[in-house]
A and B are shown apart, each in its own frame.
Chain A
Amino acid sequence: MTGYILRRLFGAAVVMWAVATLVFFMLRIVPGDPLAAMLFDTGDPAAAAELRIKFGLDQPLIVQYVKWLLLIVQGDFGNSIYGSRIPVSQLLIEAAPRTLSLALLAFFVAVVIAIPAGLISALWRGRPIDHGVTFIAFLGLSMPDFWLGILLIILFAANLGWLPAIGYEPMSAGFWPWFSHLILPATAAGTGFSAIIARMVRSSMLEVLKTDYVLVARAKGLSPWRVVMGHAFPNALIPVITVMGIAFGLLMASAVVVETVFAIKGLGRILIEGILNRDYPVVQGAILVVSFIFVFVNLLVDVLYVVIDPRIRVN
């Protein structure tokens, strides 16, 4: 098992290295050289040359690459070149908890809705309630997450006035301020994920309900509740967790997009603003940190499988 985890860890490190390399070279090879355009747009060739030397841009690309990589590994992403010029790492450290708490709450809300919905759908297969759940799941998959966010603001913030429309409050300001600002974006970001999980729970349960051990459990006279909760559901959960792992990336991507709707200054918002301001150090840093989170989550899911399902260890 240790060998397996080490191999995965190595794979994740390779992916991160590949992403960092791609980010470095693509931003420099693309025509127009955005970095140069920003730094040397002073119209003064002498000053430009001075800046070029100061930032090490006179050196061969490969030397720049190695130096850059060494800085990145130490968490030094340079300074924002727009506005306040604060270090990119500081921006990202402030933003990361917002995105993570949004994603985790979205995950929680989605699972709390999806599992009962999928179970009910499977147990009352073919009945109106099953059709209802299936239809809502289809709707959830077809609704763009950012639009769902807008609809939630129109309903719960603009018309009913129950919840704040935009912004973020940290947990340190109290649970309710944190929760009330985050529940709408979390719902918007989690709906697609929830729909996928509900459908997966349904089909996985239907599969398990056909097995012999469920028949045995029924035949020995267990209550329907015990049959479903004690025998069928735990076994139906394994494929569901696999899909959760795959779909969690989707949820993170949704969180990144939904941040814009609710004006939450998380990693996604930082990335988008960086792109709009042509603030390349920020764009680089945000891409790397967001990618790092994805690679880390993938790694976590891979390790989790091994813990849940020992059969994978053999391979």
Chain B
Amino acid sequence: MSTTDPIADPIASPAAIDDDLPARPPSALSIMMRDRRAFFGLVFLCILLTAAVFAPWITPYDPNAMDYVMLEEPSWSHPLGVDDLGRDLLSRIIHGARVSIFVGLSTVTIAGILGVAMGIAAGFYRGWIDTIIMRYIDLQWAFPNILIAVYLVATFGTGLTNVIIAISLAYLDDFARVARGMTLSVKEEQYIAAAHATGCSDWRIMARHILPNITAPIIVLATVSISNAILAEAVLSFLGLGVSSDTPTWGLILAEARSFISRAWWLGVYPGVAIMLTVLSINFLGDSLRDLLDVREVRDIP
């Protein structure tokens, strides 16, 4: 960064400007690579994603295949050990990654699209639409997202679809809140007045002029929300309110391990390591994005 900004300080010598002008601004990827934590996060997530996508081909065993060798310690044939039914823990954890990633991405997509639409509509139209949406946001705001997800599963029942609906709805209000706040400030910009003056429809203004200008905080919020949604899925599975009892998920593996942890520590440790590394990686990435996009609207608290 130059200390003499040519716009703020027009008398700055041309030489100084020449020196400071890079041929091309550094790409987002290259900046993130320089940030060691973001680099770690990116690498881990790439590995995890690959493992999840190709899980059926790369896992050493069928995640549900039982064996008479039970509660066996980590060894060469079972790198992370074996659970109480003789199932290979590594294979189960890799398959669990598929559920975590799928739930994380799908819930944030749903919550993001609906929440941003609600937030923009509330901020743009104000009036009764805004009042209703804000009342709803305030109501959810009184409770932590994970608790709302539990409430919703209590109502809809368990299973993959219901878990996705519950987590999506639980995180909807965050997106609506941020989108509304940003819309309120963007709406005052001159280019929106110009768009009005040239006869753009409301729809066109919201979709083509407001939305592109509020994406930065939304991207950061979405990143952070993916890790929170993954945590929420793990909690629901752990509590027995998750996807199903025959799909291996990280939370479920930990729930099943609970009775055996005094004899088989690996069952209680490794699935949690998987959750933690995933969440940590996404959070590192989110932090880096926050700095990169210069976003202050998204709070740290999940």
* Min C-beta distance of A239 to chain B, whole Å: 13
Tell whether A275 pairs with B272 under 8 Å between CB atoms, given A144-B231, A249-B144, A250-B301: no
Say whether A93 faces chain B, with CB atoms less than 8 Å apart.
no
Assembly CA distance A27 to B239 (angstroms): 20
Residues of A near B151 (CB, < 8 A) are 23, 287
Say whether A139 faces chain B, with CB atoms less than 8 Å apart.
yes
Residues of A near B240 (CB, < 8 A) are 272, 276
* Min C-beta distance of B253 to chain A, whole Å: 11
Assembly CA distance A141 to B240 (angstroms): 23
A56-64, A95-103, A149-157, A214-222 - the one binding chain B: A149-157
Contact of B268 among A141, A150, A243, A272 (CB under 8 A): A150
CB <8 Å contact, A246 and B147: no
Tell whether A257 pairs with B239 under 8 Å between CB atoms, given A26-B155, A144-B276: yes
A166 closest partner in B (C-beta): B258
A158 closest partner in B (C-beta): B262
Assembly CA distance A41 to B272 (angstroms): 41
CB <8 Å contact, B301 and A146: no
Contact of B139 among A15, A30, A147, A243 (CB under 8 A): A15
Residues of A near B283 (CB, < 8 A) are 138, 141-142
Which residues 244-262 of A sit at the B interface, judged by CB distance below 8 A? 246-247, 249-250, 252-253, 256-257, 260-261
Assembly CA distance A139 to B301 (angstroms): 14
* Min C-beta distance of A20 to chain B, whole Å: 12
Residues of A near B227 (CB, < 8 A) are 142
* Min C-beta distance of A225 to chain B, whole Å: 30
Residues of B near A271 (CB, < 8 A) are 150, 154
Contact of B272 among A143, A253, A260 (CB under 8 A): A143
Say whether A88 faces chain B, with CB atoms less than 8 Å apart.
no
CB <8 Å contact, B280 and A294: no
Taken residue by residue from 235 to 265, chain B's Cβ proximity to chain A (1 for < 8 Å, 0 otherwise) reads as 1001111000000000000100110011001
Chain B interface helix/strand/loop/mixed: helix
Residues of B near A237 (CB, < 8 A) are none
Which residues 196-219 of A sit at the B interface, judged by CB distance below 8 A? 196, 199
Assembly CA distance A124 to B265 (angstroms): 37
Residues of A near B268 (CB, < 8 A) are 147, 150-151, 153-154
Chain A interface helix/strand/loop/mixed: helix
Residues of B near A158 (CB, < 8 A) are 261-262, 265
Say whether A13 faces chain B, with CB atoms less than 8 Å apart.
no
Q: Which of A147, A199, A274 has the largest number of chain B CB atoms within 10 A? A: A147
Contact of B143 among A249, A261, A274, A283 (CB under 8 A): A249
Residues of B near A283 (CB, < 8 A) are 154
Residues of B near A146 (CB, < 8 A) are 234-235, 238, 254
Say whether A295 faces chain B, with CB atoms less than 8 Å apart.
yes
Residues of B near A252 (CB, < 8 A) are 144
* Min C-beta distance of A136 to chain B, whole Å: 12
Say whether B188 faces chain A, with CB atoms less than 8 Å apart.
no
Residues of B near A15 (CB, < 8 A) are 138-139, 142
Assembly CA distance A275 to B239 (angstroms): 10
Contact of A257 among B142, B235, B302 (CB under 8 A): B235
Assembly CA distance A253 to B155 (angstroms): 18
Say whether B19 faces chain A, with CB atoms less than 8 Å apart.
no
Residues of A near B97 (CB, < 8 A) are none
Residues of B near A26 (CB, < 8 A) are 155
CB <8 Å contact, A151 and B269: yes
Say whether B289 faces chain A, with CB atoms less than 8 Å apart.
no
Residues of A near B146 (CB, < 8 A) are 253, 257
Tell whether A150 pairs with B257 under 8 Å between CB atoms, given A144-B231, A144-B272, A247-B301: yes
Say whether B122 faces chain A, with CB atoms less than 8 Å apart.
no
In the complex, 5 of the A-B residue pairs with CB atoms within 8 angstroms, ordered by the A residue number, are: A147-B276, A192-B302, A291-B143, A295-B142, A298-B142
For the complex of A and B, the 10 pairs showing the least CB-CB separation, nearest first, are A147-B272, A158-B262, A253-B144, A142-B280, A142-B279, A150-B268, A275-B154, A249-B144, A26-B155, A253-B147
